[in-house]
Homo-oligomer: A and B are copies of this chain.
Amino acid sequence: MPNIQTPIPEKTIERLSEYRRTLLACHRQGITHVFSHILAGMHGITAVQVRRDLMLIGFSSDTKKGYDVKVLIDFIDDILYSKNTMNVAVIGMGHLGQAITKYFNSKKLNIRITAAFDIDPAKVGTTILDIPCYHIDDFEEVASNNDISIVILSLPSSIAAQYAVPIINAGIKGVLNFTSAPLNFMQGIVVENYDITTILEKVAYFVKANEENTNQ
């Protein structure tokens, strides 16, 4: 949960990011305009929700033709992105770390994973997926020297807390924590604790609840 005050709600930010990807797909297919109810349908939400989100960022449409796809993409880009590229480091270059790196860097974002950290001697000093892999003990120095703003934690949960102090010392501004050890930092560091197990358990719970409803 980001720990700052901001005028745009978290959920709206998430949806803007999702709209943007859908709009990019539309743009690639040569679609120039899209109505709010079409965009809504693609995301399984209401048109009212879409219009409310876009009003919140001050975007209005030609009501006859719907939203101009290209203009809306640029508008959302201005809200979501820095003009400058943001550098991201991955701590823990196992399967999950590599999956995340491959996934992100294949997309045209101006958030780039530019450094990886691990303890495995077979990985340290090599290049994995075009990213240099450093020893985790060198994190503070390497992160400071390479202008890293955001850290992704994809290492074993049991050792995640060890990296809280190096993260603070390196001046990291945002943490995306995939371990099941929730981390809390002081004001000024944005943390998103994003435990995959929680989500699977949630799906399982609602599947069970559905079955119980059906059996009643």
Contact = CB atoms under 8 A, between A and B. Distances in A.
Contact of A211 (B1, B88, B173, B213): B173
A10 interface: yes
Contacts of A173: 207, 210-211
A197 B17 contact: yes
Interface in A57-82: 79-82
Contact of A210 (B86, B88, B180, B188): B188
Interface of A is mostly: helix
Closest 10 CB pairs of A and B: A95-B99, A96-B99, A2-B206, A44-B184, A174-B207, A17-B201, A190-B206, A174-B203, A173-B207, A17-B198
Interface of A: 1-2, 4, 6, 10, 13-14, 17-18, 21-22, 42-44, 79-82, 86, 88, 94-96, 98-100, 102-104, 107, 109, 111, 149-150, 152, 154, 173-176, 180, 182, 184, 188, 190-192, 194-211, 213
